[in-house]
Amino acid sequence: MKLSYLRRLVPALLITSVSALALAACGGSSSSSSTTSTSSVTATKDATVAASVPAKFQGKPLTVALDASYPPMESIGSDGKTVVGADADLANALATTMGLTASLQNAGFDGIIPGIDAGKYDIGMSSFTDTQEREKTVDFVTYLTAGTSFYVTASGNASVASLADLCGLTVAVEKGTTQQDDAQAQAKKCAPDKKLTVLVFSDQNAANLALSSNRAEVGMADSPVAAYAVKQSSGKFKLSGDPYGAAPYGIAIAKSSGLAQPVLDAFNVLIANGVYKSILDKWGLASGAITKPVINGAQS
């Protein structure tokens, strides 16, 4: 999860090898005048929700920032430029429900929330964990739950079931994530003779590459992302222990924008009409589904 700007869930269709792995029912009447379809997943404009969108957002694309290095939440598709994944599909469906179109912008994870606060992006959907610290800067609409997982090389000797087990090892994490915060906090607790080395990378792909190239012994990521990396590694990676720290993902929105309530209402429409479930099923994320999204639902 990207907690320090917590996070995320997108298949990287280009990732077919370990080197490429370089590696979280209410609403108004509907109108079919605007639709978005992603494979079998189709959303339609909701007239009541669309009417509630602030005037300054009407008639132009809704700019959505995502860090496309976090499959299956968001990654770059097979054409080498399109952002795909669960967050991408949800962003498109939300925009359509609100009577808008989404402009998906690939951005560095740790720059998204500052970019929203500065007016560069309208919203951020990049597996952000909704936290009390982040709520000081932006509002969130919750939309999924996820924890953090450890994963290791299948040929290595590392076995990690808790943060304490990281002592004496080298761990790879993405910059600006909860995983970075957790690993660096644990490093301060380790005995001098069992030093924990935390390698911080600009994106998840680079963190995964550090693991596959044996620069690190352990990787950490949101549970859906770790599971996807293991699945795509052709047996090179394996999960270690159980996920910890389940928390809500949130859609990040500028506090002064007036968008939080329309986004919440649109999301409730997607839950009610089954589009939300279809998107999660498509990306294998059904276990993280929620039924009651809220504005600012941080647990810590």
Asked if 207 contacts 218 with a C-beta cutoff of 8 angstroms, the reply is no
Q: What is the pLDDT, as a whole number, of residue 9?
A: 34
Q: Per-residue confidence at 178, pLDDT binned at 50, 70, 90?
A: confident
**What mean pLDDT comes out for the span 248-272?**
97
Pairwise CA distance, residues 105 & 231, whole Å: 26
Mean pLDDT value across residues 279-290: 92
Write out the E strands in the chain.
30-38, 41-46, 62-66, 69-70, 74-76, 83-84, 102-106, 123-129, 138-153, 170-174, 197-201, 218-222, 237-254
- Kindly tell me if the per-residue pLDDT of 30 is higher than 60: no
The pLDDT of 216-238, averaged and rounded, is 94
Whether the predicted pLDDT of 11 surpasses 60: no
Q: What is the DSSP letter of 71?
A: T
At residue 23, does pLDDT exceed 60? no
Alpha helices (H) in 9-85, listed in sequence order = 47-52
Residue 25 clears pLDDT 50, i.e. is over it: no
At which residue do the structure tokens 């009610």 appear? 272
Higher pLDDT residue, 255 or 3? 255
**What 3-state DSSP class applies to 166?**
helix
Say if residue 72 is preceded by a cis peptide, omega within 30 of 0: yes
- pLDDT tier, 220 (very low <50, low <70, confident <90, very high otherwise): very high
Residue carrying structure tokens 């329309």: 262
Task: Report the half-sphere exposure of 41 (CA within 13 A, side-chain side).
Answer: 24
Q: What is the pLDDT of residue 41?
A: 61
How big is the CA angle at 7 (ends 11 and 20), to the nearest 5 degrees? 35
Domains and CATH numbers, the chain: 30-145+247-288 (3.40.190.10), 147-245 (3.40.190.10)
Cβ-count burial 133-145 (b if 16+ within 10 Å, e if not): ebbeebbbbbbbb
Q: How confident is the model at residue 300 (pLDDT cuts 50, 70, 90)?
A: confident
In sign, the C-alpha dihedral spanning 32, 36, 42, 48 is negative
Residues 21-48 have a mean pLDDT of 53
Question: pLDDT at position 42, please?
Answer: 84
Kindly state the average pLDDT of the residues 50-67. 97
Beta strand pairing status for 69-70 and 138-153?
Answer: unpaired
Burial of 235 (0-12, 13-18, 19+ CB in 10 A): exposed
- pLDDT, tens digit, 9 for 90 and up, residues 114-156: 999 999 999 999 999 999 999 999 999 999 999 999 999 999 9
Strand partners, 2: 128
Which whole number is the average pLDDT over 276-282? Answer: 95
222 class by beta-carbon count within 10 Å (0-12 exposed, 13-18 middle, 19+ buried): buried
Of 132, 126, 129, 149, nearest to 248 (Cα)?
Answer: 129
Does pLDDT of 34 surpass 50? no
User: Residues 37-56: pLDDT tens digits?
Assistant: 444 568 999 999 999 999 99
* Contact between residue 27 and residue 48 where contact means Cβ atoms under 8 Å apart: yes
Which of 120, 122, 108, 125 is CA-nearest to residue 176? Answer: 108
